């Protein structure tokens, strides 16, 4: 007889979110990962939980909104169960607007958010001088205007993943470096999993996209409660300990997924220029990892197309942490209760 109800392969944010959701429903879960928790993309340092723009609504945006709205209660419960802090806070985000056309588009989106975000968060257009603490945190804005959204939150990815591992153990789950899968198996193996599915399918079902990131510590300025900044694709995410996560490069071609190089130096130099508080900020960490990107660019969730009694949770790409609370729930629905509420475009077949 099997000693566990379910096995999850992969101790990243998604494998552990699925494991925790199943353990909360009473299942005895074993997670197997030869490298241990947070060894892959989930060991990072950026942690922007940011929404898609509130327009042209679709399943992916609706799923993401539901996940972001769950996040506060979810991470508070993970903190309680694990006794460690995932670093979650809903601190919002500022985003400079380039010109009058961008301001008009942002105002249109503000009207969209009022409808689509169900009154739970705002997307506001504000004057740049309203956006930063004494100007030190205010990003330069060519139009003099910024978007301030109150939906965006932050967490510390590596700490959040380790907190998920702690929560699972509190719920009676096991995390092992090796072992044979028993019961239904959820494959949440990140980029290695996409390579494996591609090999089984005989075509590319997904690839890795490398990202490099850094942690900066501003000199003489405590950014901990400041909103995130999002400027020309660069994220600056203040963490609870006063460091600021800076991300990220996006590299399809790479030799070493964990090495940092001159592309990160360039990103850090840009970050130093985005607001007065970051000028000469000390670089306290450099990090690189590989994001799992499904061919459809959507998450890849559902029954495994090539294995019996098996499932896939993969394709978190750039928003894996933002989606993780809801990914855990919909996978637990499917695996434990046979209840399928996965959006059509998220199925593995969408990438095959």
CB of 153 to ligand FAD, least distance (A): 10
Q: Give, in order, the Cα–Cα distances in Å from 81 to each of 25, 128, 250.
A: 14, 40, 34
Element (H, E) at 271: helix 262-272
Asked if 74 contacts 148 with a C-beta cutoff of 8 angstroms, the reply is no
Q: How far apart are CA 278 and CA 270, in angstroms?
A: 10
Nearer to ligand FAD, 128 or 229 (CB): 229
- The tally of CA atoms less than 13 A away on the side-chain side of residue 155 is 32
* Span interacting with ligand FAD, options 53-61, 77-85, 123-131, 312-320, rule CB under 6 A: 312-320
Among positions 96, 173, 292, 325, the unique one binding ligand FAD when judged by CB under 6 A: 292
DSSP state of 52: P
**For ligand FAD, which stretch binds (CB under 6 A), given 47-55, 81-89, 172-180, 335-343?**
47-55
Q: Among the candidate windows 118-126, 197-205, 297-305, 318-326, which touches ligand FAD by CB under 6 A?
A: 318-326
Our finding on whether 230 is near ligand FAD (CB under 6 A) is no
Give the range of 6-14, 143-151, 265-273, 275-283 binding ligand FAD by CB under 6 A. 6-14
Instruction: Please say which residue, 95 or 103, places its beta carbon nearer to ligand FAD.
Output: 95
| 300 touching ligand FAD, by CB under 6 A | no
- What are the tokens at 219? 């000199």
43 phi and psi angles, rounded to 5 deg:
-90, 20
Q: What is the 3-state secondary structure (H, E, C) of 167-207?
A: HHHHCCCEEECCCCCCCCEEECCHHHHHHHHHHHHCCCCEE
> Which residue shows structure tokens 């203040």?
238
Cα–Cα distance, 30 to 294 (Å, whole number): 25
Q: Which of residues 145-184 bind ligand FAD (CB under 6 A)?
A: 157
* Closest CB 350 distance from ligand FAD, rounded Å: 17
Looking at 15, 92, 139, 328, which residue binds ligand FAD (CB under 6 A)? 15
> Which positions touch ligand FAD (CB under 6 A)?
9-15, 32-35, 39-42, 44, 46-49, 157, 188-190, 192, 211, 213, 247-248, 289, 291-292, 314, 316-322
């Amino acid at each position: 007889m099997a000693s566990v109800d379910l096995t999850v392969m992969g101790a990243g944010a998604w494998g552990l979110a699925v494991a925790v959701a199943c353990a909360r429903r009473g299942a005895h879960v074993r997670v197997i990962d030869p490298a241990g928790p947070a060894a892959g993309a989930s060991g990072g340092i950026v942690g922007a939980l940011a929404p898609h723009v509130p327009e042209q609504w679709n399943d992916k945006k609706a799923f993401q909104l539901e996940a972001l709205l769950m996040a506060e209660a979810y991470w508070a419960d993970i903190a309680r169960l694990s006794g460690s802090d995932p670093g979650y806070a809903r601190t919002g985000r500022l985003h400079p607007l380039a010109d009058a056309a961008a301001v008009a588009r942002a105002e249109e989106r503000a009207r969209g958010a009022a409808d689509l975000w169900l009154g739970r968060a705002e997307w506001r257009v504000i004057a740049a001088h309203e956006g930063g603490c004494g100007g030190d945190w205010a990003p330069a804005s060519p139009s003099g205007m910024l978007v301030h959204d109150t939906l965006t939150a932050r967490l510390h990815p590596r700490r959040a993943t380790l907190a998920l591992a702690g929560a699972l153990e509190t719920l009676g789950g096991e995390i092992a470096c090796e072992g044979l899968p028993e019961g239904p198996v959820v494959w949440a193996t990140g980029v290695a999993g996409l390579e494996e599915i591609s090999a089984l399918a005989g075509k590319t079902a997904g690839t890795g996209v490398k990202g490099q990131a850094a942690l900066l510590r501003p000199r003489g300025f405590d950014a901990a409660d400041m909103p995130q900044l999002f400027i020309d694709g660069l994220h600056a995410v203040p963490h609870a300990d006063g460091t600021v996560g800076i991300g990220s490069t996006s590299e399809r071609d790479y030799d070493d997924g964990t090495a940092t190089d001159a592309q990160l130096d360039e990103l850090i130099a840009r970050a130093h220029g985005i607001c007065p508080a970051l000028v000469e900020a000390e670089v306290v960490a450099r990090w690189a990892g590989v994001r799992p990107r499904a061919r459809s660019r959507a998450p890849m969730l559902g029954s495994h197309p090539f294995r019996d009694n098996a499932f896939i949770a993969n394709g978190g790409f750039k928003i894996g942490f933002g989606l993780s609370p809801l990914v855990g729930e919909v996978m637990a629905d499917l695996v434990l209760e046979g209840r399928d509420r996965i959006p059509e475009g998220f199925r593995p077949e969408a990438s095959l």
